[in-house]
């Protein structure tokens, strides 16, 4: 079936999710057109055309439903920069560009032609398919390894384990161990959840209490007391980059890998989740509040608050109730724990 994005040109930009009143600014040297190739991402293409890539829905004239369920863009499509009757920029897509530069109808197969993703899937796929955070209220009820065959201390691939509290209808599972509690930087007494360190996969071969499991893959050794969660098929949501509808004010909780700072391409966690209105595709600005010490007229040291400085942008790709994971897509310096994330 021939697909077209012309249906996207439906709603005025002023009614968009989080749209701002200031005019859209094109990027310096924005191209007249771009031929989509494998490896492209929505974020990368948007950055070619826009100084503020999160305004992608506006330049396409998308409404709220189209942001969450957009028409797909495929390699071979041609994105064309045009102007409306008022001179405002807009983008359209033309289908079926061939190597000779001529446009002709082309049929795409969902099986053989992959739509381009919002952000690089190779970076975030493990963070979509593997457990990252165990909510505080889920920890007590999680399935747990209570014994191993022949009382082995550690399990490897092919080992047999016995598990309590496993759903008998669930066959495929992931094994993890609890990490440190994730405290809210804005309130250290509040625990947002617990880090989950992925250890491998297991299959339930015989339901029961305890149930019999076989380890099918192992990235690290696991054993008695470690927990399991149902395996889920990784899905890459095709939300387009967009800014939140309301004001967001959150913090960076942690940087994946336990390092002290991060940069472009790093994965970070935030102290906001879907219960706080955050959703996949939200683009947030990274900011840092600084204080400097100087001396007053009495030669006494005083702290002076410096206005917040923007240090980059992040793209939210996975949300839990009170915590989210985001990819640093733009960085003008290091990203550190306790940095702020705000509506751009």
Report pTM: 0.74
Compute the distance between CA of residue 128 and CA of residue 234 in angstroms, rounded to an integer.
Answer: 6
Cβ atoms 103, 93 nearer than 8 A: no
Give yes or no for residue 209 having a pLDDT over 50: yes
Exposure b/e, 76-115, CB count within 10 A at least 16 = b:
bbbbebeeeeeeebbbbbbbbbeeeeeeeeeebeeeeeeb
Phi, psi angle pair for 15, to nearest 5°: -100, 5
Give yes or no for residue 198 having a pLDDT over 60: yes
Tokens representing residue 147 in the block: 């014994």
pLDDT of 282? 93
The percent of residues above 90 in pLDDT, for the chain, comes to 26
Range with the lowest mean pLDDT among 2-11, 94-103, 124-133?
Answer: 2-11
Tokens representing residue 111 in the block: 């099986």
What separation, in Å, do the N-terminal and C-terminal C-alpha atoms of the chain show? 38
Tell me the domains of the chain and their CATH numbers.
6-116 (3.10.450), 128-230 (no CATH), 249-342 (2.40.10.410)
Cβ atoms 166, 176 nearer than 8 A: no
Compute the distance between CA of residue 119 and CA of residue 117 in angstroms, rounded to an integer.
Answer: 6
DSSP labels for 90-117?
Answer: EEEEE--B-TTS-B------TTTSPPPP
Cβ atoms 120, 113 nearer than 8 A: no
Give yes or no for residue 253 having a pLDDT over 50: yes
pLDDT tens digit string along 136-166? 667 677 899 999 887 777 777 888 999 999 9
């Amino acid at each position: 079936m021939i697909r077209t994005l012309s249906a996207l040109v439906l709603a005025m930009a002023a009614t968009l999710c989080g749209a701002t009143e200031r005019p859209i600014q094109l990027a310096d040297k924005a191209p007249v057109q771009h031929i989509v190739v494998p490896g492209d991402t929505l974020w990368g293409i948007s950055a070619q055309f826009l100084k503020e890539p999160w305004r992608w829905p506006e330049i396409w004239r998308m409404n709220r439903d189209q942001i969450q369920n957009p028409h797909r863009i495929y390699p071979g499509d041609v994105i064309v920069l045009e102007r409306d009757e008022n001179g405002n920029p807009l983008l359209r897509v033309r289908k079926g560009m061939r190597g000779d530069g001529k446009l002709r109808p082309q049929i795409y197969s969902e099986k053989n032609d992959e739509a381009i993703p919002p952000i690089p899937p190779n970076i975030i796929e493990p963070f979509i398919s593997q457990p990252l955070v165990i909510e505080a209220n889920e920890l007590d009820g999680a399935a747990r390894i209570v014994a191993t065959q022949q009382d082995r201390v550690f399990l490897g691939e092919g080992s047999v384990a016995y598990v309590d509290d496993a759903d008998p209808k669930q066959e495929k599972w992931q094994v993890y161990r609890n990490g440190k509690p994730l405290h809210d930087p804005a309130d250290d007494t509040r625990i947002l959840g617990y880090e989950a360190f992925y250890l491998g996969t297991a299959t339930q071969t015989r339901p029961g209490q305890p149930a019999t499991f076989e380890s099918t893959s192992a990235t690290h050794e696991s054993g008695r007391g470690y927990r399991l969660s149902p395996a889920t098929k990784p899905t890459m949501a095709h939300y387009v980059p967009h800014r939140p509808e309301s004001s967001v004010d959150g913090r960076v909780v942690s940087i994946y890998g336990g390092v002290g700072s991060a940069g472009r391409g790093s994965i970070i966690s935030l102290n906001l989740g879907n219960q706080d209105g955050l959703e996949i595709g939200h683009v947030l600005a990274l900011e840092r509040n600084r204080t400097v010490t100087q001396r007053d007229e009495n030669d006494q040291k005083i702290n002076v608050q410096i206005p917040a400085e923007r240090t980059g942008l992040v793209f939210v790709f996975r949300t839990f109730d009170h915590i989210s994971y985001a990819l640093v897509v733009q960085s003008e310096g290091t990203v550190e724990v306790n940095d702020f994330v705000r509506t751009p």
